[in-house]
């Protein structure tokens, strides 16, 4: 039964990806994506219910799976090297060679291939990640079916690129599931590289100059992470003598000898998670179609980075490396929250918010206490749902109004009522209690109570986050009342995906105490001494259920009051008596007695938090912190 389920979550997406590429009939491709999504989502829940396991596959046609993974790994590296020459990018060439040569020497002369190493290991963290990847990732793939049809119509493409697009989109899910379940570090490295290549191809999908440029940047930055991974893996093996990730983790710092390789592996996680100063590749990924952005930010790629740092946390607990990781994560959380304030582009707000929240998760891994690790896992779960929902909403809005600028979303309810409501739900789940993202932030701040530098950065970052989320929600809520709002026409798959994600983010928060007591606490208890339960009762430390009751009552009250005010006459904005006296026209008399249209806008504080003002300085500070972190490990 277990081999079948592992095949479904790892190999089925590969088979489905091949089917999407070669069976070039849109109806068949859509059915493949739908069936694959349902299968891996259900299987992930079955695996979650089954609990922890260790497993090694047998052979395929008499060939060991280790040999097949090694062959696939070198093949992929040479494909990346081919693209390096095609793109004429010297950095990618150097980084590819710096992986190929050491890896070949390592495989030929160092690795004991006769030693038995379990290929897969799953605990609650890995199984939670599989569920997040499989369920949220599948919903994003389903959303992409109607979205890509509209996207290509907008681009006026003669020949559809959807077969290639869905090949990499679906393959991404299998690669991520393989990554989080891998115990053999060579397998983990292979899946790490697959996600790098998939992201490169998906970002470059539209084949425009800017898309290729940003995809190239993503490839070289993540290839740098690949180099760090290779050298960290080789060094760790020379110290421990095993390819087993669990053995490496259990070996601990070993008097400091293991800190450098662990630090290099964490650096690989930093690049994958787009932490400062590597954030530009993820910001550049915004040029890709919206499903790609949603997938990269919520359930794949960047989550691979935080997973690696979090998975290795027991190996560097109580060391200077741990403190360095906490500082790097906290600084990213604060700096990216500050820059997000100056952004009016919806996708950029979401991108900086994602990098900021990933920094918070990495900070929790560095704090390395039961409370902090719990906060990190809670954030992974709830951030994935809310962020996937918001990215898909922005993509839907952009198709509907032709803009992703949040200033253009004033009165969105009058044009796209369903999408506007769902977007508001997504924003509120990021900032209100008792939804999981705020719950995780609160726990992270409490966990940092003994570290003055970290707690100040977390408190300031949380305050700044509230500014841009509340501003966006306020814009969406500003709309003149009307007796009748036109119905929004939407594809059934789009409607299903947005509704499912919105409902899921709310309902899942109801079960946050159950998630903790059933999944997180038992796992953390094996590594850390738990002195106090975060959810000591069914109500929980955040009084989850009473707060939900209050929110529900407030919603019902607001709905009733809004209905009562439906017949109120709307008045024009007062503009010092200089209004243009035409029904329905919002304008005033300006210079030369000419009408000037009234336009509402927001303060973005670009002179304080502008991207061009802060990026250079925060990158410099972040790089200094990383050097300090690795230098301390040495």
State yes or no: cis peptide before 277, omega within 30 of 0.
Answer: yes
Res 409 pLDDT > 80: yes
- Write the DSSP string, 482-546: -S--PPPP--HHHHHHHHHHHHHHHHHHHTHHHHIIIIIHHHHHTTS---S-TT-SSSTTTTHHH
Res 383 pLDDT > 50: yes
Between the ranges 142-146, 151-155, 416-420, 604-608, where is the mean pLDDT highest? 142-146
Beta pairing class for 53-55 and 595-597: unpaired
Question: pLDDT category, 527, cuts 50, 70, 90?
Answer: low
The pLDDT value recorded for residue 534 is 45
- Region 489-494: mean pLDDT is 91
Q: Report pLDDT digits (tens) over 299-337.
A: 777 889 999 999 999 999 889 999 999 999 999 999 999
Which residues make Cβ contacts (< 8 Å) with residue 106, sequence separation at least 6? Answer: 230, 233, 234, 237
Helix (H, G, I), strand (E, B) or coil at 15: helix
Res 342 pLDDT > 90: yes
Question: pLDDT category, 572, cuts 50, 70, 90?
Answer: low
- Region 284-296: mean pLDDT is 92
Residue 382 sits at the vertex; the CA angle it makes with 252 and 359, to the nearest 5 degrees, is 50
Token pair, residue 611, equals: 């991207």
Average pLDDT, the chain: 89
Which residues make Cβ contacts (< 8 Å) with residue 60, sequence separation at least 6? Answer: 68
pTM over 0.75: yes
Q: Report pLDDT digits (tens) over 536-551.
A: 444 445 567 777 788 8
The pLDDT value recorded for residue 254 is 58
Distance CA 194, CA 172 (A): 8
Which residues make Cβ contacts (< 8 Å) with residue 43, sequence separation at least 6? Answer: 5, 8, 9, 134
The pLDDT value recorded for residue 90 is 96
- Region 516-527: mean pLDDT is 76
- Write the DSSP string, 378-411: HHHHHHHHHHHHHHHHHHHHHHHHS--BGGGGTT
Distance CA 436, CA 429 (A): 7
Containing 611, the helix (H) or strand (E) segment is: helix 611-633
The pLDDT value recorded for residue 302 is 84
- Write the DSSP string, 256-318: GTTHHHHHHHHHHHHHHTT-TTSTHHHHHGGGS-HHHHHHHHHTSTHHHHHHHHHHTGGGSTT
Distance CA 322, CA 629 (A): 8
Range in 22-31, 110-119, 159-168, 584-593 with the lowest mean pLDDT: 584-593
Helix (H, G, I), strand (E, B) or coil at 481: coil
Q: Report pLDDT digits (tens) over 225-259.
A: 999 999 999 999 999 999 999 999 988 765 567 78
Distance CA 494, CA 392 (A): 9
Q: Which 3-state string (H, E, C) describes 111-155?
A: CCCCCCCCCEEECHHHHHHHHHHHHHHHHHHHHHHHHHHHHHHHH
Distance CA 215, CA 127 (A): 30
Q: Report pLDDT digits (tens) over 37-71.
A: 999 999 999 999 988 999 999 888 878 899 999 99
Q: Report pLDDT digits (tens) over 84-119.
A: 999 999 999 999 999 999 999 999 989 888 888 999
List the one residue out of 178, 207, 183, 217 whose CA is nearest residue 194: 178
Neighbours of 63 (CB within 10 A): 10
């Amino acid at each position: 039964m277990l081999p079948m389920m592992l095949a479904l979550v790892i190999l089925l997406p590969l088979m489905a990806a091949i089917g999407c590429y070669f069976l070039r009939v849109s109806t068949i491709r859509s059915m493949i994506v739908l069936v694959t999504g349902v299968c891996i989502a259900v299987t992930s829940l079955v695996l979650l219910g089954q609990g922890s396991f260790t497993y090694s596959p047998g052979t395929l046609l008499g060939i060991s799976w280790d040999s097949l993974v090694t062959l696939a790994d070198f093949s992929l590296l040479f494909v990346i090297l081919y693209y390096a020459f095609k793109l004429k990018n010297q950095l990618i060439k150097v980084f590819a060679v710096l992986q190929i040569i050491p890896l070949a020497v390592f495989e030929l002369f160092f690795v004991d291939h006769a030693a038995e190493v379990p290929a897969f290991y799953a605990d609650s963290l890995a199984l939670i990640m599989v569920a997040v990847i499989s369920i949220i990732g599948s919903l994003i793939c389903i959303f992409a079916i109607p979205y890509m049809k509209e996207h290509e119509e907008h681009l006026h493409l003669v020949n559809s690129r959807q077969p290639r697009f869905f090949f990499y989109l679906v393959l991404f899910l299998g690669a991520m599931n393989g990554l989080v379940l891998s115990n053999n570090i060579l397998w983990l490295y292979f899946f790490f590289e697959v996600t790098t290549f998939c992201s490169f191809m998906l970002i470059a999908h539209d084949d425009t100059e800017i898309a290729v440029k940003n995809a190239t940047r993503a490839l070289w930055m993540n290839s740098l992470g690949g180099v760090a991974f290779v050298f960290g893996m080789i060094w760790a093996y020379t110290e421990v003598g095993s390819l087993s990730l669990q053995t490496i983790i259990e070996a601990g710092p070993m008097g400091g000898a293991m800190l450098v390789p662990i630090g290099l592996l964490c650096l690989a996680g930093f690049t994958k998670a787009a932490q400062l100063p590597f954030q530009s590749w993820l910001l550049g990924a915004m040029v890709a179609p919206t499903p790609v952005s949603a997938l990269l930010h919520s359930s794949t790629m960047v989550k691979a980075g935080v997973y690696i740092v979090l998975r290795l946390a027991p190996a560097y607990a109580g060391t200077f490396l741990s403190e360095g990781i906490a500082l790097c994560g906290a600084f990213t959380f604060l700096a990216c929250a500050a820059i997000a304030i100056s952004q009016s582009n919806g996708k950029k707000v979401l991108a900086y918010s994602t990098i900021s929240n990933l920094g918070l998760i990495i900070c929790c891994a560095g704090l390395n206490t039961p409370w902090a690790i719990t906060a990190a896992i809670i954030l992974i779960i709830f951030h994935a749902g809310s962020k996937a929902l918001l990215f898909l909403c922005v993509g839907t809005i952009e198709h509907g109004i032709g803009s992703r600028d949040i200033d253009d979303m004033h009165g969105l309810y009058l044009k796209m009522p369903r999408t506007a409501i769902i977007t508001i739900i997504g924003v509120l789940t990021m900032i209100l209690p008792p939804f999981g993202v705020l719950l995780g932030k609160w726990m992270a701040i409490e966990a940092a109570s003994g570290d003055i530098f970290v707690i100040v950065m977390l408190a300031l970052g949380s305050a700044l986050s509230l500014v841009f989320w509340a501003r966006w929600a306020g814009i969406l809520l500003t709309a003149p009342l009307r007796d009748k709002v036109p119905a929004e026409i939407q594809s059934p798959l789009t409607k299903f995906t947005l509704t499912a994600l919105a409902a899921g983010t709310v309902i899942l928060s109801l079960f946050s105490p159950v998630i903790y007591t059933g999944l997180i606490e038992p796992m953390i208890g094996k590594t850390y001494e738990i002195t106090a339960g975060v959810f000591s009762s069914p109500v929980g430390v955040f009084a989850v259920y009473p707060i939900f009751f209050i929110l529900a009552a407030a919603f019902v009250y607001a709905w009733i009051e809004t209905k009562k005010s439906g017949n109120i006459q709307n008045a024009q904005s007062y503009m010092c008596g200089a209004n243009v006296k035409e029904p329905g026209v919002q304008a005033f008399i300006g210079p030369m007695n000419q009408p000037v249209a009234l336009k509402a806008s927001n303060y973005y504080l670009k002179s304080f938090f502008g991207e061009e003002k802060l990026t250079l300085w925060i990158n410099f500070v972040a790089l200094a912190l990383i050097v300090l972190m690795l230098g301390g490990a040495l």
